[in-house]
Amino acid sequence: MSTLIIKDLEPRQQYMCRVRVNTRSQGEWSNYLYAWTFSDRIPPAPYNIRFSNTTDTSSVISWTTAEGHSISSIIISYKIYGKAEYNHIDIIIKNTSITQYHLKGLEPNTVYQVQINAQNNIGLSNPNTSFELKTLPETKAPYESKGGKMLLIAILGSAGMTCITILLAFLIMLQLKRANFQRRMAQAFQNVVREEPAVQFNSGTLTLSRKAKNSPDPTIYPVLEWNDIKFQDVIGEGNFGQVLKARIKKDGLRMDAAIKRMKEYASKDDHRDFAGELEVLCKLGHHPNIINLLGACEHRGYLYLAIEYAPHGNLLDFLRKSRVLETDPAFAIANSTASTLSSQQLLHFAADVARGMDYLSQKQFIHRDLAARNILVGENYVAKIADFGLSRGQEVYVKKTMGRLPVRWMAIESLNYSVYTTNSDVWSYGVLLWEIVSLGGTPYCGMTCAELYEKLPQGYRLEKPLNCDDEVYDLMRQCWREKPYERPSFAQILVSLNRMLEERKTYVNTTLYEKFTYAGIDCSAEEAA
C-alpha cells in the first residue's frame, strides 16, 4: 500500500481527491474521496436545540452542528434547575453523524438545564445558552370506580393466600432438596488430603479451613438449584476452568448470570482456589464495584458458581477493542481519535477499581491478581473487580506453594519474598492504571520475566505512555515505590482520581496525533509465569 502526504492545505476546508496510475499509458481515475482538514480553532457550539417526545422520565434531544470544524464528539451536560453544578455524568457521543439523543432516567415534573458542546482536536466549544427541559408529571393509572377498587382488593387477597400456600409447599420441598444437596457436596470433597484445605457444605453454609484440625466459623452462602440454571454460551475458558453465560431463577426472578466451573482434570490446588473464591465472595457481601455472588450449585460432583453477568466482558479486551485506528481506521481519521473511549471514561474505570479495592482492603482481603483481565465491565460501563481465586482474608499472606504467577503485575516484595499485602495490591493497581491509559498494552512488552527480576530492584519502572498526563503517571509511580509503606492507600488513590474527574481536564489524550502508535501487545508474555 502506497502513502502520499499532501502538505500546505488550508484548515477547515473540504478537499476532494482522486488518483490514477500512469505507466506507458494513462490509467483510469479512481472515484473521488472527500475529507475535511482539521480545524485551527475551537468549534462553534451546536445550535437549533430541540426537545421532543418528552415524558415524565425522558426526552429526545436534537441538535445541528456546523460543518468544517473537525468535530470529534458531542458532550451533553444536564442538571436540575437551580443547582450550582452539573452534577450528572456528561454524555459523550463519539459518532458525530448522530444528531439526537434519548435522555433517560429523569425525575418527573422537574425542570432541567441542558447544555450541548462540541469538541475537536483544538478543544471544547464555548458554552452555549442553557436550555430548559421540563418533564411531565408522573403518570398514574386511576381506578375506574370504588367498586372496581373493592373487586381488585378481593382478587389480590385471594391470589395472595394462594401464593402463600404454594410458597410454603415450595419451601418445604426446597429444604428437603437442599439437605440432599449438602450431603452430596460433602461427599464430593472427601478426597481432599489432611494438609489440603477442607471444604464442607452443610445446610446452606460453607466451611473452608487450611488444616483439618482448624474449626473456622462457617460461611453462609446462597444455594442455587440445578434445575433453575439454563446454560447458553461459553464466554470464557482457561487451562482449568470455564465460564458460561446462563439464565437463572433466583428468588422467583429470572436473570442473566455467569456460571464458573472447574474442568475435570483441574488439580487439587485449583479446586482449593475455586472453593476459596466462593468463601471470599460470601464474606465480602455486596458492593457496586465488586462482581457479586448470586449462588452456588453442585451437580454430579462439580461445583458451579453463579456470579452477576457483565455484558461488556473483561476490561482488557474492552480497552483493546476501543483501539479504533486498528478496528476502523476511516472512523479514527475522520474523527481524529485513537479510541472510542474518552479521557473521562478511562478515569472512571480507574476510579471504579480503586473504590472496589478500598472496600476490599477495609475488609482486610488481599486480591493478589489485580489486572485489567480480572476486571469486568458491567451495566452502564461500571468496572467491577472479579476473579478472587487467589484472594486471602488476612493482612499479610506468605505464599508457600508453587504455581503460575502474574509476574508483570507483582510488587518487588512479592517477587523476592512471596509476601502479599494490601500495599502489594497497590503496586498491581499502578500497573492496571498503566493498562487503562495505554488502552490495553502489555506491561514491560519486549522484556522477559527474568529481566524484570533483575531490573525492578535496580529502580526500573514502566515508562510513561505518550498519551498520559504527568499527574496520572506520577500516581502510577507512587504505587511503584520500593518501600511498601510509602505507597498510597486505595482511599488516597480514589481521592486523587475523583479530583481529576471533577477538573474535567484531558488527563488521557485519545486525540489522533502525527505518527501515533499504540502500546505493544504480547499475549504470550502475559501468560508467562
- Point out the residues that are catalytic: 369
Phi then psi dihedrals of residue 220, to 5 deg = -80, 135
Please, which residues have CB within 8 angstroms of residue 184's CB and are 6 or more apart in sequence? Answer: 298
Please answer whether residues 48 and 130 qualify as being in contact, where contact means their C-beta atoms are separated by less than 8 angstroms. no
Which segments within 137-282 are labelled E, that is strand?
A: 198-202, 205-209, 219-220, 229-237, 241-250, 253-262
Provide the grid cell at 384.
467491577
β-pairing verdict for 219-220 and 205-209: antiparallel
Please, which residues have CB within 8 angstroms of residue 497's CB and are 6 or more apart in sequence? Answer: 347, 350, 351, 354, 475
Q: Under DSSP, is residue 34 helix (H, G, I), strand (E, B) or coil? A: strand
β-pairing verdict for 229-237 and 241-250: antiparallel
Query: What residues pair up with 241 in beta bridges, in sequence order?
Result: 262
Please, which residues have CB within 8 angstroms of residue 207's CB and are 6 or more apart in sequence? Answer: 198, 199, 200, 201, 216, 218, 219
Chain-centroid distance of CA 396 in Å reads 28
Q: Is position 260 annotated in a ligand binding site?
A: yes
- Cα distances from 74 to residues 327, 334, 342, 377, in angstroms, run 22, 15, 11, 23
Of 464, 483, 482, 461, nearest to 473 by C-alpha is 464
Which strand (E) or helix (H) includes residue 455? helix 449-455
- Cα distances from 448 to residues 308, 465, 520, 524, 528, in angstroms, run 36, 20, 14, 11, 9
Cβ atoms within 10 Å, residue 469: 18
Q: Quick one: DSSP state of residue 18?
A: -
Residue ranges at the known binding site for ATP: 260
Residue ranges at the known binding site: 260
